[in-house]
Amino acid sequence: MAGFVRGALFLTMFFSSWVNAHEDWQAKEYSREAAHKPTPLPDRVVLTWSGDPATTQSVTWRTDVSTKKGRAHLAIANSNGRALKPEVFEAETESFKSDINEANYHSVTFRNLQPDTLYTYRVGDGVNWTEYYHFRTASDRARPFSFIYFGDAQNEVRTHWSRVFREAFRDAPRAAFTLHAGDLVDNNDWDSEWGDWHQGPDWVNGTIPVIATPGNHEYRRIDQGSRSERFWATDDGQVIEVDMTSFETESSEEGTRYKLSFVGPNGASTNLEMNDGGNIDVVDDAMESITGFKKEALLGSSFYAAPLYDRQRDPGVPAVTRHWRPQFAFPIQDVPDEALKETVYFIDYQGVRFISLDSNKAPELQVSWFRKVLEDNPNRWTIVTFHHPVFSPGSDRDNPKIRELWKPLLDEFKVDLVLSGHDHTYARTGQVDATNLTNVPTGYQQAYDPKIGTVYVVSVSGPKMYAITKGEYAKKFAQDTQLYQIIHLNEGNLEYRAYEATGELYDTFTLQKRDGMPNLLIEALPEEKRQ
């Protein structure tokens, strides 16, 4: 009888376990608030420079609001961590309220460091510490080094950009720093997107410093009116004002989709959907009663270009995201506009002057500063970065004002390399047959002038892609391809290599310095891989 009872009990337990294991189960999305909640343990640790890279190093990090003060430990690195006798540095702390949480950001600048020296440091509050990180100061003279350049990360940063970053780091683990040409995130003030951006590099940002220039997606506007008020063109050439009543995003492995609803001046409501390239692929019949366009005329067209040509009512003064300064300690220099002091700066690193310009705001005000920084440049090499390219490979994208204001200075001072993003494609200038150029704006025939020698690059590291329609001006171009670039400089040569997300070499060239002459551009890609 006892055996029968034990058997029955076993069968009951087995059946119960089987039922529980096979009952309906629905995964629940982990909230943005929970995923990016700050704690007393520091996160978002980032190295930047606010001074001379040979003798200073800045570090910023985040905690929850219970951590009122931050501090850092610093020592020259050795082979026995227990023998370290670190110096203590007190941090500057500022409170920060994001769209989903409140936090404190802390920053320390280590000064009077020894050039070309490996240091170790950690940050915390005296009780809760990070692990020890390493960083190496720059040499105080020209020495060979490499850095990694990324175009727009922007969309699905944690999902798709992180692997590009990690592949780049696998290729160049001793890189001196990473350079980001704008649009690090998609929504400038969303804390969750900045959290994703930090998670991609993770501890690497605490070991290899960051240089970044802002893109249009790092910019917000100080409103003078409602962001929901938009302007559309109509089929008969009129301009009408519409109200955006809802805006939803859906992310998947195929990309991000946007679902929008509007009310026209006649009171009619319409809905449309577009992909992350901005192309309309769903629109309802009500659109015709508002704009006069049949839905067939809009399908496949850009939301931001003809025929609909959506644009926002001028909402006021552009300002860089509130997240910029707390997490990046870039140099504060004597620029002509107070609002540019966080985004316009230069850094001298081992014989190279790196210059960040802000192509989102007041380009005319930056001309005099730019000229002075070029005139007073003691370095042999000059690399300039800004978000909107001088030469765009898309037919609906062009930046004539940037070309008009800044290219004369790039030409006059024979800047070696210009690194940009924005166009979600890849295009690199070189010597091409100008007689065959078609469908390109004025000035593109001189995209590469051997009498000057400046090479212009547009690149994208994230998954959002646009089409190339005027790539003829470029020596090498690509669409629908995520890339990273490793650039190595020594005294006389700049070696440039662009890699696909898989690590496969896509493009490479060498710039060779020649005394009293423009750089010599040497195409280094095998002939069978050239386009």
Domain limit, last residue, from 279, 312, 345: 312
> How far apart, in whole angstroms, are the C-alpha atoms of residue 220 and residue 319?
5
> How far apart, in whole angstroms, are the C-alpha atoms of residue 416 and residue 339?
28
Determine, yes or no, domain membership for 106: yes
Determine, yes or no, domain membership for 9: no
Angle at 299 between CA 256 and CA 463, to 5 degrees: 25
Q: Is 10 a residue whose pLDDT tops 70? A: no
**Lowest-confidence range among 51-55, 77-81, 250-254, 298-302?**
250-254
436 and 520 housed in the same domain: yes
| Total residue length of the chain | 531
SS3 (DSSP) at 330: coil
177 and 121 housed in the same domain: no
User: What is the domain count for the chain?
Assistant: 3
Domain limit, last residue, from 104, 136, 168: 136
For residue 265, cis peptide bond before it (omega within 30 degrees of 0): no
Q: Which residues pair with 267 in a beta bridge?
A: none
Determine, yes or no, domain membership for 437: yes
381 and 521 housed in the same domain: yes
360 and 307 housed in the same domain: no
* Residue 505, number of CB atoms within 10 A of its CB: 14
- For 224-269, write each residue's pLDDT tens digit: 444 567 888 899 888 888 988 888 888 776 777 889 999 998 989 9
Confidence (pLDDT) at 530: 66
The answer for residues whose C-beta is within 8 angstroms of residue 408's C-beta and 6 or more apart is none
Q: 382: domain CATH number? A: 3.60.21.10
Q: Is 153 a residue whose pLDDT tops 50? A: yes
Where in the sequence is the domain holding 321, given as residue range(s)? 145-210+317-529
Q: Of 148, 157, 225, whose CA–CA distance to 186 is shortest?
A: 157
pLDDT band at 76 (very low <50, low <70, confident <90, very high): very high
- For 346-357, write each residue's pLDDT tens digit: 999 999 999 999
405 and 506 housed in the same domain: yes
Determine, yes or no, domain membership for 328: yes
Six-digit token string for 244: 């955006």
Determine, yes or no, domain membership for 456: yes
- pTM beyond 0.75: the answer is yes
161 and 128 housed in the same domain: no
Query: Distance of alpha carbon 348 from its chain centroid, rounded?
Result: 21
The answer for residues whose C-beta is within 8 angstroms of residue 490's C-beta and 6 or more apart is 144
For the chain, the first-to-last Cα distance in angstroms comes to 84
Confidence (pLDDT) at 103: 98
Specify the amino acid at residue 16.
S
Work out the mean pLDDT of the chain and round it to a whole number: 91
Contact predicate 46/327, CB 8 Å:
yes
Q: Of 405, 381, 402, 382, whose CA–CA distance to 392 is shortest?
A: 402
Six-digit token string for 444: 């593109």
Six-digit token string for 68: 């009122």
Contact predicate 493/351, CB 8 Å:
no
Q: 37: domain CATH number? A: 2.60.40.380
266 and 279 housed in the same domain: yes
Determine, yes or no, domain membership for 417: yes
323 and 290 housed in the same domain: no
324 and 296 housed in the same domain: no
Determine, yes or no, domain membership for 499: yes
Q: What is the mean pLDDT of residues 286-295?
A: 92
Residue given tokens 């280590």 in the structure block:
110
Please, where are the H alpha helices in 126-180? 162-171
- For 291-345, write each residue's pLDDT tens digit: 999 989 999 888 877 788 776 655 567 889 999 999 999 999 999 888 899 899 9
Q: Is 17 a residue whose pLDDT tops 90? A: no
300 and 327 housed in the same domain: no
**Structure letter (DSSP) for residue 360:** T
132 and 149 housed in the same domain: no
Six-digit token string for 199: 């998670």
The more confidently predicted of residues 443 and 243 is 243
Domain limit, last residue, from 136, 157, 178: 136
**Lowest-confidence range among 132-136, 331-335, 458-462, 472-476?**
472-476
Determine, yes or no, domain membership for 22: no
> How far apart, in whole angstroms, are the C-alpha atoms of residue 497 and residue 495?
7
The answer for residues whose C-beta is within 8 angstroms of residue 504's C-beta and 6 or more apart is none
**Lowest-confidence range among 35-49, 89-103, 221-235?**
221-235
273 and 416 housed in the same domain: no
Residue 275: exposed, middle, or buried by beta-carbon count in 10 A (0-12, 13-18, 19+)? middle
Q: Which residues pair with 120 in a beta bridge?
A: 75, 134
